[in-house]
Chain A
Amino acid sequence: MYQYDQYDQAMVDARVEEFRGQVARRMAGEITEDQFKPLRLKNGLYLQLHAYMLRVAIPYGTLNGRQMRMLGDIADKYDRGYGHFTTRQNIQYNWIKLEDAPQILADLATVEMHAIQTSGNCIRNISSDHFAGAAADELVDPRPYAELLRQWSSFHPEFDYLPRKFKIAVIASDTDRAAMRLHDIGIQIVKNDAGEIGARFYVGGGMGRTPMIAPVIRDFVPALQMVSYAEACLRVYNRYGRRDNKYKARIKILVHEIGADEYRRQVEEEFAHILTLGLEPPAAELERIAAFFADPGLETGLAEGYDRSDPDFAVWADQNTAAHKQAGYKAVVISLKPAGGIPGDATADQIRLMADLAEAYSLDELRVTHTQNIVLPHVKQSDLYALWQKLDAAGLGSANLDLIGDIIACPGLDYCSLANARSIPLAQKISERFASPERQRTLGELKLKISGCINACGHHHAGHIGILGVDRKGTENYQLLFGGSEAADTSLAQIVGPGFSEDGIVEAIETATEVYLKARAEGERFIDTYRRIGAAPFKEAIYG
């Protein structure tokens, strides 16, 4: 994986010291909160419902054991013994003290991590396929391209005050595991008819209060011109994106209002201009970056298959591992969704254990998924059983990947100052209701996503079943949505009908699963059945 050079390290170290001085001045009363707030947000430090919250960037969700261990140590030393992995492949700490924040950033810098650009109207942490570099179906590893974009976007002065925040995802397979088309810019690394590698640009997607699926703006950009094309996309947005209304300020609104064709025309015009400046990175730089992501040490000649005599292990292995590009390996997904648990939360001990296991079994690599789980991307099949035993003993052995228990949930009103309703208690009730592994497997793939407000951090628009918490005259109320997807078949969920209380919506989901089981055809997932038969049978059963 990528390692900082002297420039990366110097920039991060300098930023830590700068922030240390800013915090000292704030604590001494030399600057006001109005002056300090934008400075702390630039360093990922929010003020949430109960305390300061620090969001740490995990570029394209990739980290090594040393970095993961540091995340666990920070949870113990500065927080309350746990961290929360987010839908942006980041981690958040919920109980940070302002006076500790600079030292936390200094500790992170020792393992080449930071919290820069995890807030504010700038280009945020770039996300990617959590199986990148391991997936059997990828064209190439998308992370060198994501890293190139990370370097371009870090401290980019022109894009430090965009109309609104800006999120980019990069993938390199037709199987979208990064919700790519629901980003401000989604990039798919593709090969053209001439066999050249390049980027397909989707621009103007997003969730939030106005969900949109990004249209293709350019089918192919040569790899070394990708940064310039992204620059053109951002430049048009920076020039014309609305700054008078934060609810209309995302790029999706601009692309929608002027139309994809007109947006494309303007981007192409800007792109042509940028190309005349010769700002493209040299091929040697992309090669330098790519070298960090080359073979992490995979062995060749390993046999396929492993001992499946323990039935509980076999169930887990079938559900929570994915095909690897190298024979004899699997990519393993560690579920952070035990029945009744808090989606995405892990204790400091669990975080450190996952770091140890990555070093022992996964060539020192981990990934954070946007579905709030952890991946060990390179596990020998012969090691799977030993790995599972250690995970299971630590409460990390849930065999529910992509099943109804694998719920995405934002922090909701239990932690978030923007939320209107609690998300986590609902996730806990649903996962307890459907706790039976057999029942979950009978239902098959069913992606359930819960947001505590219209900002959609819980991706409810993209859930096969989505739940949106709202405030109805001071009481929590939950809207039910069906039909969303953030995979290659991206679609936006639609509201089914009137909202429910917390208990009511659990019953409604129970009813919906019964309708599905009765109506499904051979091989159909919940969403397939919903798309085939429509909302009416579900509505009738739920609302009468």
Chain B
Amino acid sequence: MKILTGNDLASGDVVWWDGMGWSRDVNDAVDVGDQDAAILAAEEAAQRVNASYAIAATQTAEGVRPAHIKDRIRALGPTVRLDLSLRPGDPDAAKQVI
């Protein structure tokens, strides 16, 4: 699947395109098919997110998994500060990212 990500303009938070807007949870990301360029252009014009781009991902039993480690870390947060990540209660979160 192809999903879209970027950083929220005001907060800088990592966000994912959920079909209607931008979510902070990668599991809300939707497959945009061949619409990535059109959505990114519209969102860039709307100036809600920065540095947005399309990435490859797979839908797994655990949720949406970006193909590249960099995006998996973006989806979680720093693996060395899980207390600041989106899964602060999951001690195995870092291992799953890698």
Contacts and interface: CB of A to CB of B under 8 A. Distances in A.
Interface in B25-61: 44, 47, 50-51
B68 A97 contact: no
Contacts of B74: 49-50
A95 B84 CA distance: 10
Contacts of B67: 474
B47 A29 contact: yes
Contacts of A95: 12, 84
A475 B50 CA distance: 27
B12 A422 contact: no
B80 A50 contact: no
Given A32-B47, A97-B11, A98-B11, A49 B80 contact: no
B19 interface: no
Contact of A414 (B10, B12, B51, B79): B79
B69 A475 contact: yes
Nearest to A82: B81
B73 A414 contact: yes
A359 interface: no
B23 to A, nearest CB: 15
Given A29-B47, A414-B80, A415-B78, A99 B69 contact: no
Interface in A94-111: 94-99
Interface residues of B, number: 25
A425 B10 contact: no
A352 to B, nearest CB: 20
A97 B44 CA distance: 19
A47 B69 contact: no
A475 B68 CA distance: 9
Contact of B70 (A47, A94, A96, A413): A413
A94 B11 CA distance: 12
A51 B84 CA distance: 12
A347 B9 CA distance: 27
Nearest to B69: A474
Nearest to A422: B79
A50 B14 contact: yes
Contacts of B98: 476
Contacts of B9: 26-27, 33, 98
The interface centre, meaning the residue of A26, A33, A96, A419 with most chain B CB atoms within 10 A of its CB, is A33
Contacts of A425: 79-80, 94
A51 B73 contact: no
The interface centre, meaning the residue of B7, B51, B67, B74 with most chain A CB atoms within 10 A of its CB, is B7
A342 B69 CA distance: 20
B80 A98 contact: no
B93 to A, nearest CB: 13
B92 interface: no
Given A33-B47, A474-B67, A476-B98, A96 B79 contact: no
Contacts of B47: 29, 32-33
The interface centre, meaning the residue of B13, B73, B78 with most chain A CB atoms within 10 A of its CB, is B78
A267 interface: no
A342 B51 contact: no
Interface residues of A, number: 31
Contacts of B94: 425
Contacts of A80: 84
Interface in B67-98: 67-70, 73-74, 77-81, 84, 94, 98
A428 interface: yes
A233 B94 CA distance: 47
A49 B13 CA distance: 9
Nearest to A29: B47
Contacts of B7: 47, 51
B68 A50 contact: no
A462 interface: no
Contacts of B69: 413, 471, 474-476
A424 interface: yes
A97 B11 CA distance: 4
Contacts of A27: 9-10
Nearest to A28: B47
Interface in A412-444: 413-415, 417, 419, 422, 424-425, 428
A294 B71 CA distance: 51
B10 to A, nearest CB: 6
Contacts of A419: 70
A52 interface: yes
Contacts of B77: 50
Interface string A462-489: 0000000001001110000000000000
Contact of B78 (A32, A33, A50, A471): A50
Interface of B: 7, 9-14, 44, 47, 50-51, 67-70, 73-74, 77-81, 84, 94, 98
Given A33-B50, A417-B70, A422-B73, 16 more contacts: A29-B47, A33-B47, A33-B51, A47-B7, A47-B12, A49-B74, A51-B12, A95-B12, A97-B10, A98-B9, A98-B10, A98-B12, A414-B78, A422-B80, A425-B94, A474-B67
18 contacts: A26-B9, A27-B9, A33-B51, A49-B70, A49-B73, A50-B14, A50-B78, A51-B7, A51-B13, A98-B9, A413-B69, A413-B70, A414-B80, A417-B70, A424-B80, A425-B79, A475-B69, A476-B98
Q: Would you list the 7 A-B pairs with minimal beta carbon distance, nearest first?
A: A51-B12, A52-B12, A414-B78, A29-B47, A424-B80, A97-B11, A33-B50
